[in-house]
Structure 1
């Protein structure tokens, strides 16, 4: 295949926006589309190589995969190995467990599946995931598994149909990506069926070129380059990519590949030394930049300033040159290459992958290898976890109520109940302890993702059973001897979903405001009409990072008693939609306990998530034992005041 300098230049134009976007430079708000351009380039080059070897009769599937392994794996293994010591030293246990999972997924070419399941690419915490960017490499590897087989079949049977078949598959993939961008946006971003048309766009360019299109065009190549630039500067995180919107950078890349020939202005620009050099090291640069940025964010208490991120972007290019020069090239060059035989390459790759997978499984099974941390940090993390006891998941465990082994201090004559999601589970041990001192038992009825609202579920699959769970729980409580029920949940998460399921019907947010209010009123009314006193535990301040891990990081760096805060105005703004729903039920049997009275106001304008080394929130949402005990004390104040009220009006009680 004839070398074209401008293609290396196009690689540079693709990788630099990605790096600068991940560094946090807002000017490159659509820099992530560089990955889409990479997919087009990859489809073009791979197809060109396969077609050339098919025509020469030298194509071998085994040789193809060996070349891909030599191209991709040595630099990838180096970067992963370099990540291990920094993760070992700096990453907190839960984060290290997630890193271990990504190590396994990377080794199995399934990183895109893991990151789809775990988190969103644009989520705030994504910047602290060292191997997040490997999702795109997984998609590319999955494409390589199928595409050569398709070309082989078409070449042997109907080579004249190849263009038509690839165009048809590309159109189907594009239509699917447009549909999935609306219905399954996260899966759409990460999975091959939504991305295949981008690779095939490059393949179609290769077929067009093979049929004689080798003439340059200044207008068309300038248009293509302008379409890519437009996407980089005008798209942002809200842009549904991939979808028909991604046609802009993809068509732009196609026009550059087809028409930025020698003698055109775009070719002259992309063929300059700077562009071609960055293009040659672009793969290594892509591998290095995300770990550098992630570990900088992990090690820093506050987000690193842009000048630091810019310096790290430059460092990624320096490391990329070294790994390209001393790792990539020695494994790829024809003569005197490292591991020259296929057998030695396969054995070495298998050994490294087995080691990564084994280490990843160990990191997962030990919950992040907590013993690697200094003893005070290890003890602190253990003491500031949240309780998952009796927290149900899925459709099992609640077919019969009361739930076995989830009644605490049951020997007391009187028993209360707590109904809710995982936040309620984190509150239960402290509340159990306080009620035990009043000779009252507590029955825990908690299910992950299930806010206590009758007949309503969030759309994520973990929450699909919530409507049925809550209906069963309320039916049981109404018939039981329980006369006081606590309703506690991650209300902010529940009331800010994009879609809900009402009695099996999925409905968009714009249509659910009154229905949510009616469902919550129905829940409270069903309980109070049965003579049950309802205590609603209101939203509490929450973090945008793991609070206990952040405190532990500060302690690890030498701050003995850290305080972590958020602005009170920010908390009130975040919580106001939830307050509007929770304030609605008007019944004399409803008490309201507001944790904000505990965590906010000690100093004007702030809410404390951790105070003088005492941590109230474990991750971003759930109470530590200290946070749960503070809320439980507030609940007891409300209960005691209710006992002495004259019964007029609504009890909305909380101590200062």
Structure 2
């Protein structure tokens, strides 16, 4: 295949927006579409190579996969190897366990599945995941597994139909991505069926080129480049990508590939020395930038300023050049290349992958290898972890209620219940201890990602069972002898979703405001109508980093008793959307507990997340034992004001 400098320039135009987007430069709000452009380029080049070799009767599937391995794996292995010591030294146990999981997934070409299951690409914590960007490499590897087989199959039977088959599959994939962007947006972002049409767009362009389309066009190439640029600067995290909206950068990339020929303005721009050099190192640059950014964020006490991220952007390009020059090239060149035989390559790759997988399993099974940390840090993290006891996940464990083993102090004549998600789980031990001293038991009814709201759930994979769980829990509480129930959840996360599931139907945020309010009111109303006193636990202040880890980092740097705060105005801004819903129920049998009374006000205008070494929040959501005890004490004060109960267990409300 003839080398085209402008394609390397297009690679540079794709990789730099991705890097700058990940660095946090808001101007490049749609920089992530550089990945879509890469998919088009990949489809174009791979198809061009395969079709040319098929026509020359030189194509070999084994040789194809060997070329792909030499292209992808050496630089990837180097990046992963370089990540290991920094993760070992700097990453806290829970995050190290997640890193270990990503190591396994990367080795098995399944990183996209892991990151779909674990977290969203645009989630705040995603910036601290060193291997998050490998999801796109996994999608590309999965495409390489299937596409050559399709071409071989069609070439042997009906080569004249290949173009029509590519177009048909691409249209089906595009239609699927448009549908999935509305129904399963997270899975849509990460999975090959939704992305296949982007690769195939490049394949279709390649087929058009082989049929004779080799003439340049200034208007069409400028249009294509403008479509890509528009997407980079005007798309943002809320843009449903991939979907028909992604036609803008994808068709733009195809137009550039087809019509930015020598002699056109776009080809002249993309063929400049700077862009072609960045294009040549673009794969290494893509691999290196995310670990650099992630470890900078992990190591920093506060989010690094843009000036630091700008310097790291330049550093990533320098390291990428070194990686390209001394790792990529030696494995790919035809003469005097490293591991020249296929057998030596396969053996070496297998050995490295086995080592990565074994290390990943070790990190997972040991829950992040906590012993690698200094003893004071290890003890601090262990003593401040949040309680996951009786926190259910998936569709099992709640077939019968009360949930087996989740009734604390059950020998007491009266039992309350706590109902909610993982935040409620983190609060349970301290609340159970306080109630035990008053001869009251506590039932824990908690499920990950399930806010206690009837008929509503988030759309994430982890929340798929929340509708059934909440229905079973509410039905049980109404029929039970429980006369006080605490509703606790990560309200900020729940009430700020972009989409929700209402009785199995996915609905966009713009349509759910009143429906959410009605659902929460109905949840509270059904309980109080059954004679149950409802205690709503309001939102607590949240940080923008892992709080216990931040305290541990400060302790490790010599600050013995750190205090971590946020501005009270920021907390009020965080909580305002949740308050809109939580303030709504006006039933007289509803009590409210506001953690702001505990965490805010020590000094005017601030809220404490950790105070003089005592940490209240473990990550960004869950209470540490100290935080849970403080909230439980405030709950007991609120119950005390309510005079605790009449002879039927129903609250006798005071005038306060």
For the aligned pair, the TM-score class normalised by the smaller chain equals over 0.9
TM-score (norm: length of structure 1): 0.95
The answer for the alignment partner of 1:446 in structure 2 is: 446
Displacement of 1:322 in angstroms is 1.1
Q: How does 1:356-435 map to 2 (within 5 A)?
A: 356-435=356-435
C-alpha distance in 2 between matches for 1:173 and 1:434: 56
Matched, 1:154 2:151: no
| Residue 164 of structure 1, CA deviation | 1.5
Aligned twin of 2:288: 288
Aligned to 1:35: 35
Partner of 2:223: 223
8 Å CA contact 2:643, 2:651 repeated in 1 = no
Q: Is the Cα–Cα contact under 8 Å of residues 614 and 626 in structure 1 kept in the other structure?
A: yes
1:132 aligned onto 2:126: no
Give the direction of change, closer, same or farther, for the CA distance of 1:519–1:226 in structure 2 (3 Å limit): closer
Aligned residues between the structures = 653
Residue-by-residue CA offset, 1:354-398 (whole Å, 9 max, x unaligned): 000110111111111111111111111111111111222333323
Contact 1:453 1:523 in 2 (8 A): yes
2:485 matched to which residue of 1? 485
Deviations 1:25-53 (A, max 9, x none): 22222222221111111111111111121
Query: What is aligned with 2:616?
Result: 616
Structure 1 window deviating more from structure 2 (502-511 vs 572-581): it is 502-511
1:591/1:651 contact within 8 Å kept: no
Q: Which residue in the other structure is 2:330 paired with?
A: 330
**Could you say which residue in structure 2 is the equivalent of 1:166?**
166
Aligned to 2:437: 437
| Alpha carbons of structure 1 residues 37 and 475: separation in structure 2 relative to 1, 3 Å | closer
- Specify the SS of the correspondent of 2:642: helix
**TM-score under structure 2 length normalisation:** 0.95
Q: Is the 8 A contact 1:410 1:442 kept in 2?
A: yes
Q: Distance in 1 between matches of 2:340 and 2:329?
A: 13
Shift of 1:652: 8.8
**Displaced runs of 4+ in structure 1, greater than 6 A?**
644-649
Instruction: Tell me the residue number matched to 1:592.
Output: 592
Between 1:632-641 and 1:532-541, the stretch displaced more is 532-541
Query: What is the CA-CA distance between 1:134 and the residue it aligns to?
Result: 0.9
Distance 1:336 1:93 in 2: 43
2:77 maps to 1:80? no
Gaps of 5+ in 2: none
Partner SS, residue 579 of structure 1: helix
**RMSD over aligned Cα, in angstroms?**
2.2
Question: 2: distance between equivalents of 1:13 and 1:427?
Answer: 49
Comparing 193-202 with 228-237, which one deviates more in the overlay? 228-237
Deviation by residue 1:202-242 (Cα, 9 ceiling, x = unmatched): 21222222122222222222222222222222222222222
1:155-188 Cα shifts (integer Å, max 9, x gaps): 2221122222111211222222222222222212
Superposed, 1:18-167 pairs within 5 Å as 18-167=18-167
* Secondary structure of 2:236 counterpart: coil
- Separation in 1, partners of 2:120, 2:496: 17
Deviations 1:429-478 (A, max 9, x none): 11111122222222222222333334444433433443443443344434
Q: CA deviation at 1:479?
A: 4.1
| Shift of residue 10, structure 1, vs aligned partner | 1.6
Shift of 1:78: 0.6
Counterpart secondary structure, 1:181: helix
CA contact (8 A) 2:589 2:651 kept: no
Structure 2 SS opposite 1:643: coil
Q: Is the contact between residue 643 and residue 652 of structure 2 (CA under 8 Å) also seen in structure 1? A: no
Query: CA offset at residue 267 of structure 1?
Result: 2.0
C-alpha displacement at 1:585, in angstroms? 3.1
C-alpha distance in structure 1 between counterparts of 2:527 and 2:222, whole Å: 68
State the distance in 1 between where 2:129 and 2:511 align.
36
Q: CA 1:488–1:86 in 2, change beyond 3 Å: closer, same or farther?
A: same
Where does residue 463 of structure 1 map in the other structure? 463
Deviations 1:571-610 (A, max 9, x none): 2223233323333333443322211111111111221111
Q: Check 1:357–1:536 CA distance in 2 against 1; reply closer, same or farther (3 A cut).
A: same
Q: Is the 8 A contact 1:592 1:652 kept in 2?
A: no
What is the rounded CA distance, in whole Å, between the counterparts of 1:17 and 1:81 in structure 2? 26
CA distance in 2, matches of 1:652, 1:367: 50
1:541 corresponds in structure 2 to 541
Matches of 1:454 and 1:268 in 2, distance apart? 60
Q: CA deviation at 1:277?
A: 1.5
Give 1:506 shift: 4.7
Question: Quick one: distance in 2 between partners of 1:6 and 1:501?
Answer: 46
Secondary structure at the counterpart of residue 412 of structure 2:
coil
Report deviation, 1:553: 1.9
* Deviation larger for 162-171 or 59-68: 162-171
